[in-house]
A = this chain, B = another copy of it.
Amino acid sequence: MKCALDIEARDVEELFINIDPIQAGGRLTPDAMKSAIAYGDGYSVCDHCLSPFRLDYIKKPPIAQFHADLAEWLNMDEVRVVPGARRGFQAIASTYLEKGDPALLTSLAHYTEFIAIEEAGGVAREIPMDADHHITPDAAAAKIEEAEREFKRRPSLLFIDHVDYQYGNIHDAKGIARVAHQYDIPVLLNGAYSVGIMEVDGKQLGVDFVVGSGHKSMAAPAPSGLVATTSEHAERVFRTTRSRGDVTGRMFGIKEVEMMGCTLMGVTIIGMMASFPHVRERVKHWEREVAHSQTVVDALLSIEGTRVLSDYPRRHTLTRIDTRGSFDRVAQSHKKRGYFLSTDLKKRGIVGVIPGSTKVWKFNTYGLSKGQIRHLADAFVDIAQEYGIPVG
């Protein structure tokens, strides 16, 4: 079925249980879907934009209230929406980094953090992870000292992934922020895998910036995200333009430089807003999601030769699994090679594992129902048994 001339309609979420690691937290709520239809046009939210003409001041639809609600929910002072978490990183990096300035991130940092630093002219340095794939405050302190020696000045910014995209491990953002602040380094929390699925309290963590992703974890259309900060930093990050036309004398008032003026319009902001009441509710049920994840991981671990590379017991729904000693052994002699696993999962109504992967791969159980979790756990065991892998 086509949804446009040469575009096949997507029906993955309707027909399958989808455990794709990046898609789980971004699936739209029915309210976001309905709102996307009503506000599909780009400037649809601008019907009642009044002076001083800025997105986050619009009252109808209640965009201004949404901004206030977001700040309160994250326990931060000011929030802006942005076209994806990466544009939040960019805004902060561009504000805090001058050419050649060092900035820290971690050995588990997402590539968009590197690019934000590079785009701002900064130089990225990685805080190493420990043997358990964790970033510790001690490692952060050591790297700050090392960078200070290398660059003859302190790093201007430190990025910490609240939950990293590789292992789905939760890192000690609070401890790292405390250390960074001893060196007066502002801290950006990358909440792409936490804001919108887990409760996040910015002040409690003691970070200076919280960046979230609408399409990764807030059930919102892409590209969407948010940057939250404290009153200490808000004026600098959200500084308004000082441009003035030398001929016309024009000035542009309250448009913010790093936001490039207005940011999200239409379906992206409305989708975030429509999903927000559901998102605010769902983060309270995080433990249930983690328990679901644990059920599936335990089923996988019951298959002989399988290891979990993420923290165990699980504390997040994104998991990195090592099936080199189980499914990959089947792949060695299967006529479909590594593709047998995704094929056999698909036969059972499951998608989202990269076709061909049987060595080290990731999956995300976020948002699945209890019944779907059971089916998923059983499917892995079932496939193992079909190929004679012992299940304990």
Contact = CB atoms under 8 A, between A and B. Distances in A.
Given A28-B41, A43-B26, A267-B267, A34 B252 contact: no
B94 A119 contact: yes
Given A5-B274, A28-B41, A115-B261, 13 more contacts: A4-B31, A7-B273, A36-B267, A42-B224, A43-B216, A83-B83, A83-B87, A90-B260, A114-B245, A115-B243, A126-B246, A222-B264, A222-B267
Interface of A: 3-13, 20, 22-23, 26-28, 31-44, 46-47, 60-62, 83-84, 86-87, 90, 94, 99, 107, 111-112, 114-119, 124-128, 214-216, 220-224, 241-243, 245-248, 250, 252, 255, 257-258, 260-261, 263-268, 270-271, 273-274, 277
A111 B4 CA distance: 35
Contacts of A114: 241, 243, 245, 252
Contacts of A250: 111
A254 B94 CA distance: 22
Nearest to A65: B6
Copies in the complex: 2
Contacts of A221: 40-42, 221, 266-268
B222 A266 contact: yes
B33 A40 contact: yes
A61 B12 contact: no
Nearest to A112: B261
Contacts of A37: 3, 33, 36-37
Contacts of A34: 3-4, 9
Nearest to A5: B277
Contact of A41 (B13, B31, B94, B266): B13
Contacts of A271: 40
A119 B4 contact: no
Contacts of A36: 36-37, 40, 267
B39 A10 contact: yes
B216 A42 contact: yes
The 5 closest A-B pairs by CB, nearest first: A42-B215, A42-B222, A4-B274, A83-B83, A4-B31
A257 B39 contact: no
Given A261-B86, A263-B223, A42 B61 contact: no
Contacts of A94: 119
Contacts of A224: 42
Nearest to A239: B118
A41 B115 CA distance: 24
20 contacts: A4-B32, A4-B35, A4-B274, A8-B60, A8-B61, A9-B38, A10-B39, A27-B41, A28-B41, A36-B37, A42-B220, A99-B99, A114-B252, A115-B243, A118-B243, A119-B257, A119-B260, A124-B243, A126-B248, A268-B268
A266 B215 contact: yes
Given A42-B26, A221-B266, A241 B10 contact: no
A42 B118 contact: no
Contacts of A39: 3, 10
B215 A265 contact: yes
